[in-house]
Chain A
Amino acid sequence: MTKLSLGLCAAALVLGWASTSPAAHAGDASAGASVYKSECAECHAIKEGRNKKGPSLFGIVGRKAATAPDYQYSDAMRAKTDWVWTPEKLHDYLSQPAKQAIPGTKMRYDGLTDAKQLDDLIAYLSTVH
């Protein structure tokens, strides 16, 4: 195999990995705003410092777990001291029932099984900061 062929194979592998990585799923933030309104807005606000039944989602992407000011988190969530809400982490957490992802959490959510909607939602949340 030539060096060129090896290079092409490596590039294909990288592209293939990138295309299957959750973080690489480029969601549509504007469509995600609608998903947020129907799936999240009743319990979460995007306004900084405004907590509802759930904590504010302002700056959620990249935020350490259980750190929204003035919100009383569950013990289960506070125990996630090394947990950062990366897009990958949000993707995993929101794709399943919340109580399955973190037993003992206050959050009551059955999970979002539509992959595109989930990508769109995370893309939207990434803009909220």
Chain B
Amino acid sequence: MLPFLIRRARRRPKNMPLWCGLAVLLLLACTDAHAIPAYARQTGSACADCHAGAYGAGAGGTLTPYGMRFKMNGYTDTDGNGIKIPLSGQLIETHSAPARGQSSTELTEADLYLAGRITDQVGGYVKVTADHTAQSGTYNTQLSNVDLRFVAKDLKLNGKDLLVGVSVNNNPGFDDPVDVLPASVSLGPPGGSGPSGTLLNPSSANAPANRVIGATVYGLYDSNWYGEVGTYNSLPTSEQDHLGYALSGDPGRLSDTAYFRFAYMKDLKTQFFSIGLAGLNTKRQLPRTGPSDSITDLGYDLSYQYLGNRNNIVQVSYINILEQRKYGSMPASPTVPGLFALPDGTLHDQTLSLTYTFMQSYGVQWAHLVSTGTHDAVRFGPFGDPDTTANLISVFWSPFGKDDSFTSIANLKLAATWFRFTKFNGATDNIFDVPLGVSTTKPADLNAFSVSASVAF
């Protein structure tokens, strides 16, 4: 959803309301929830057992070590007390106040989740979302994240515990158990104009998120060592259209795609830390009849959680993804005779996130998002730099979702989020390079503030 809409904005850089919409969409992306009451009903657990802030993903939703194990176990854990209907829903009402443009209050998202265990070895997560489209005022239904799993538990290797699983999913990194990769936390730096951002970042232009299908094989050895390899193929454009995605966001034809994720994680009960690597290598034809670009993402990540007795939880994560591109063509500049695009380049996405949660109910998240890249006057406009710097600050309250909450069949989160830009298109002023005499745009003009109420049931 997000990359497509961001790209739509990029196609019309002089349309300021659309650029303001970009920030609002980023805010909405941050409310994307992965946890659903169906899992709580299935396991007897509270939402707070898996999520520090007792409500799904987004601010306060980062997985606890227990939540990571639930995910790696293929969403199959249960209280053993009968079959539960693996169905949930979510409604999000949002008041958005962009720095420029009109404020609005509307039902921004309605979601249906099919999620839970089928057998002790098979479980999954499927989200269908209806997003409010500001331009038309209607709702667009899309197949969002999908993660279907088969797991073999209680295996032994050299006397140590071994878990082996298969994930069929449509978003590289969404199935990340450590919950650090951008696809997993639904948070990554937005790039500037042009084909900016890394493939592992769903906020990038023409990102593969939700427009591919792939399978990975993963294993967890001795509870600490995680490894995963897999491959993806992009969906045909006709299929993307059927699933609710505009063709302008097509990730292109992908071939020879390889994905990997390795991590060492240590659960010390009151603390947790992890260190990991992730990579994606592919050949991309975008447009599909065009030449093939060779793209390699390689990232590393660190995370730390202080959990204590769960009354004061601190979660810190940092991810750094480097993308190397060897382009299949070097198009000429449409405006500068004799100027051609570079044959290769690098892009760099970094996200630092810090979240504090009190009593598993009240919290604040701060995230610093940076996207940079090789200067290329033809590919990235208007200055040839895709560099963007942004911050997210969110405060939230989740009154339910704990062991002592009066219900486990519903949950609520109220959040106030401020998304601010300090650099866009590599510039800190006049970011669209409009001529003198025309009203200029500063990065701060893309800022947006929102207040949202999310209800899950």
Where the two chains meet, the residues of A that have a C-beta atom closer than 8 Å to any C-beta of B are: 33-35, 37-39, 41-43, 45-47, 50-53, 70-72
Contacts and interface: CB of A to CB of B under 8 A. Distances in A.
- The SS class assigned to the A binding surface is loop
A38 B307 contact: yes
Nearest to B161: A108
A70 B64 CA distance: 27
Interface string B295-323: 00000000000011111000000000000
B81 A53 contact: no
Given A41-B310, A42-B49, 12 more contacts: A38-B269, A38-B270, A38-B310, A41-B403, A42-B66, A43-B66, A45-B403, A50-B44, A51-B80, A52-B43, A52-B44, A53-B78
B290 to A, nearest CB: 51
Interface in B47-68: 49, 64, 66
Contact of A34 (B49, B79, B309): B309
Contact of B49 (A39, A41, A50, A70): A41
Contacts of B175: none
Contacts of B66: 42-43
20 contacts: A33-B309, A34-B308, A38-B308, A39-B269, A41-B310, A41-B403, A42-B49, A43-B66, A45-B44, A50-B44, A51-B44, A51-B79, A51-B80, A52-B44, A53-B43, A53-B44, A53-B45, A53-B77, A71-B80, A72-B80
A50 B81 CA distance: 11
Contacts of B269: 38-39
Contacts of A70: 81
A51 B80 CA distance: 9
B177 to A, nearest CB: 16
- Taking residues whose C-beta sits less than 8 angstroms from the other chain, chain B's interface range is 20 to 34
B45 A37 contact: no
Nearest to B64: A42
Which 3 residue pairs of A and B lie closest in terms of their CB atoms, listed nearest first?
A72-B80, A34-B309, A52-B44
A51 B81 contact: yes
A50 B77 CA distance: 16
A38 B309 contact: yes
Given A53-B79, A70-B81, A72-B80, A37 B309 contact: yes
A117 to B, nearest CB: 10
B310 A71 contact: no
A47 B403 contact: yes
Nearest to B408: A50
A59 B144 CA distance: 44
Contacts of A38: 269-270, 307-310
A26 B45 CA distance: 31
Nearest to A110: B223
A111 B404 CA distance: 26
Contacts of B307: 38
B211 to A, nearest CB: 35
Contacts of B403: 41, 45-47, 50
A43 B64 CA distance: 13
Contacts of A42: 45, 49, 64, 66
A96 B79 CA distance: 24
A37 B311 CA distance: 9
Contacts of B311: 37
A71 B44 CA distance: 11
Nearest to B271: A38
Nearest to B153: A108
A41 B64 CA distance: 13
A72 B44 contact: no
Interface in B61-100: 64, 66, 77-81
Contacts of B49: 41-42, 52
A35 B309 CA distance: 7
Given A38-B269, A39-B269, A70-B81, A52 B309 contact: no
Nearest to A47: B403
B75 to A, nearest CB: 13
A46 B64 CA distance: 20
Nearest to B49: A42
A71 B309 contact: no
Contacts of B43: 52-53
A59 B43 CA distance: 21
A104 to B, nearest CB: 11
A52 B308 contact: no
B310 A37 contact: yes
A35 B64 CA distance: 17
Nearest to B81: A70
